[in-house]
Amino acid sequence: MASNKEIESHLKLALEEIGVIKPWFSKEFKAWIFSHDLYPVEYAGDTKEEVIHNYPLYIKEFIKHRLEDRLSPLMENKTKGHGGKREGSGRPKGSKEEKVRVYLPKDIANLLKEPGALTHLRGLIKVCHHTHI
């Protein structure tokens, strides 16, 4: 369960990413609405002030659910923002191998998918390169 301190720190980061909350009026729904591209949270109310006051509460609830891993996979896929990611989290920069797309015959591609095949292939290439075959 996420602590209030952790939720508040993530909320602070989220609100900094969002910036000023400027609701707009929807004639279709006859309500003031605010949403932001970085978060899949939307709030609609009768007045601008209501939306400005309540939108952060909805973001806070979203962050709480995210930290407790209670979001559906569909909701998480829609999320574009970092949601207050921690400094230094994730894979270290430069730790991924560079890759290039190459099209091969299907039988060879299937052989390369076998466990350990790339390691053996690299060894074979080294041997061939050193013997200049």
**Structural domain of 33:** 4-78
110 and 60 in one domain? Answer: no
- The answer to whether 23 touches 32, Cβ cutoff 8 Å, is yes
Check whether residue 30 and residue 64 sit in a common domain: yes
Do 20 and 56 share a domain, yes or no? yes
Domains in the chain, number? 2
pLDDT tens track for 92-115: 676 777 788 989 999 998 998 888
CA distance linking residue 114 with residue 108, whole number of Å? 10
The pLDDT tens digits for 41-81 are 899 999 999 999 999 999 999 999 888 888 766 665 544 45
In the chain, DSSP assigns E strands to 24-26, 31-36, 39-45
DSSP state of 68: T
88 found inside a domain = no
